[in-house]
Amino acid sequence: MSIPRTISSILTAFVLVAATGTMVTAGAATLEELANGAHRSAENKARNAARHPVETLEFFGLKPDMTVVELTPATGWYTEIIAPYVNEKGQYYGANYDRQSKVEFMQRINAAFKTKLDADPELYGNAKVTDLTDDDREIAPAGSADLVVTFRNLHDWVLMGTADKVFAKVYEALKPGGVFGVVEARQDPSKPQEMKKHIGYTREDYAIKIIEAAGFELVEKSEINANPKDPKDWEGGTHGMPKGFEGETDRFTLKFRKPA
């Protein structure tokens, strides 16, 4: 039997009290409280300082009553913040890897994501899982989303040649005037856009060009996730970044809008 959303939000409040020591009323948890909540591992919370989730989500305009789609959330680092935030008044869709896929790593990640959601109905009881595929399956009902976000996935779509299809699905899911928020590791602009050579990095100007070509309007840029200490020349790209590196990759943060 499912837990009513009002009861779920009360239980969420108790979880957050344990996490922060601060009493929150039902449905009133802040992004800061969720980012530092007891439901998150120490390892995940330790990355807040470099990933700036609160500032990033505020830049994208996230509100508790929004319908939000997260593209390829993988095991759910950002999901831990977004889904509980909209659980009471809004709607979260996690458009993850194809659940029909026979690829082992996709099955493994999808299983871990499902386990996370199922383990905490107080936090994720209203979350829905969809599939980000190259067929006609929707990531969310057409015209339903206020916000679609993606974190460090753009390079994969470019490499696989599926970026246009992903952008078309985002465009379809968004309401007119809805926001498409993109965070991606920034490639050295003096180097050509060669995904096989620069694994995990994408040129910012190239990202803007292909997303605008899909019909979106660039609203604003932010340097929230910039890291000038990233040399961008790791052996193996972002996957070769050594443990203990100060911060994380240098990332651009872009806010696009579907024309109203």
Q: What are phi and psi of 129, to 5 degrees?
A: -110, 130
Q: Where residue 198 falls among pLDDT bands split at 50, 70, 90?
A: low
In the predicted model, what is the mean pLDDT of residues 138-155?
A: 98
Report the alpha-carbon distance of residue 164 to residue 161 in Å, rounded.
8
Domain boundaries, the chain: 49-257
Dihedral angle of Cα 149, 131, 15, 49, to the nearest 10 degrees = -40
For residue 69, the Cα-to-chain-centroid distance in whole angstroms is 8
Provide the mean pLDDT of the chain: 89
Name the fold adopted by 49-257: Rossmann fold (3.40.50)
Q: What is the pTM of this model?
A: 0.89
Report the alpha-carbon distance of residue 13 to residue 7 in Å, rounded.
10
Decide if pLDDT at 57 tops 90: yes
Decide if pLDDT at 217 tops 60: yes
Decide if pLDDT at 63 tops 70: yes
Across 191-195, 230-234, 245-249, which has the greatest mean pLDDT?
Answer: 230-234
- Percent of the residues in the chain that have a pLDDT greater than 90, as a whole number: 78
Dihedral angle of Cα 33, 75, 219, 135, to the nearest 10 degrees = -150
- pLDDT of 241 reads 86
In the predicted model, what is the mean pLDDT of residues 228-236?
A: 89
pLDDT tens per residue, range 234-260: 888 888 888 777 678 999 999 999 999
* Of the listed ranges 12-21, 77-86, 161-170, 244-253, the one predicted with least confidence: 12-21
pLDDT tens per residue, range 111-142: 999 999 999 999 999 999 999 999 999 999 99
Decide if pLDDT at 19 tops 50: no
Q: Where residue 170 falls among pLDDT bands split at 50, 70, 90?
A: very high
In the predicted model, what is the mean pLDDT of residues 1-23?
A: 46
Helix axes 79-86, 53-60, angle to 10 degrees: 50
